[in-house]
Amino acid sequence: MTKIHDEVLQANEQYVAGFDKGDLAMPPARQFAILTCMDARLDPAKYAGLSEGDAHVIRNAGGRASDDAIRSLVISYKLLGTKEWFVIHHTDCGMETFTDDIMRDLLSSSLKTASVDESGWHDCCEGPGSAEGKYIDWLTISDQAESVLEDVVRIKSHPLVPVNIPVYGYIYDVKSGQLIEVPAATEAGKVA
């Protein structure tokens, strides 16, 4: 086992020792969901004032409205009663540092972890790689406000999303911790 593995299990033992949340209901108490990025600098519980059991938090690279994210939001509403959704991207996102073509090229030459410097992304090693990356839409970001708007519009126009769910659009500022509204996204996500 690794040091990280041992640290995680040790932390869990401490968590279990004081655990008192076994009676929380499955549906989120505050009846809302957040779709946000997996970036380790984001702590939705802190920036949105959440406790265990309050809300669903769906995380993926970039906080994008992928098919799987929409699947989770639909389950959140249909089976667990959420009534409002937030799409929250963030400044200084890694998804802004590459394109689909860059990712596909990197994966085709090697599956090892790549590195980045002032001249761009580089593979550290040779193969094996895979051409499978060319079949994935990596949902990269060139403009944060535009990507938030695009995701809110995609969610609101999805045939499995009821029209009565408001979807709000925000950008989390990693330097200040502030949620900055994307007015066009919130307008596109309002209930008609």
Q: Does residue 132 contact residue 48 with C-beta atoms inside 8 Å?
A: no
Question: What fold, for 21-98+140-192?
Answer: Beta-carbonic Anhydrase; Chain A (3.40.1050)
Residue 1 has pLDDT above 90, yes or no: no
pLDDT value, residue 115:
93
Residues 63 and 35: their CA atoms lie apart, in Å, by 6
Per-residue DSSP letter, 91: T
Q: Does residue 133 contact residue 108 with C-beta atoms inside 8 Å?
A: yes
Which of helix, strand or coil describes residue 67?
A: helix
3-state helix, strand, coil in the chain (%, to 5): 40, 15, 45
What the block records as the tokens of 153 is 């519009």
Q: Does residue 61 contact residue 35 with C-beta atoms inside 8 Å?
A: no
Residue 33 has pLDDT above 90, yes or no: yes
Summarised one tens digit per residue, pLDDT across range 89-135 is 999 999 999 999 999 999 999 999 999 999 999 988 778 999 999 99
- Domain residues of the chain, as ranges? 21-98+140-192, 101-137
Q: Does residue 189 contact residue 156 with C-beta atoms inside 8 Å?
A: yes
Summarised one tens digit per residue, pLDDT across range 45-101 is 999 999 999 999 999 999 999 999 999 999 999 999 999 999 999 999 999 999 999
pLDDT value, residue 125:
79
pTM of the predicted model as reported, rounded to 2 decimal places: 0.94
pLDDT value, residue 168:
98
What the block records as the tokens of 65 is 């409205």
pLDDT value, residue 152:
98
Summarised one tens digit per residue, pLDDT across range 139-189 is 999 999 999 999 999 999 999 999 999 999 999 999 999 999 999 999 999
Residues 1 and 17: their CA atoms lie apart, in Å, by 23
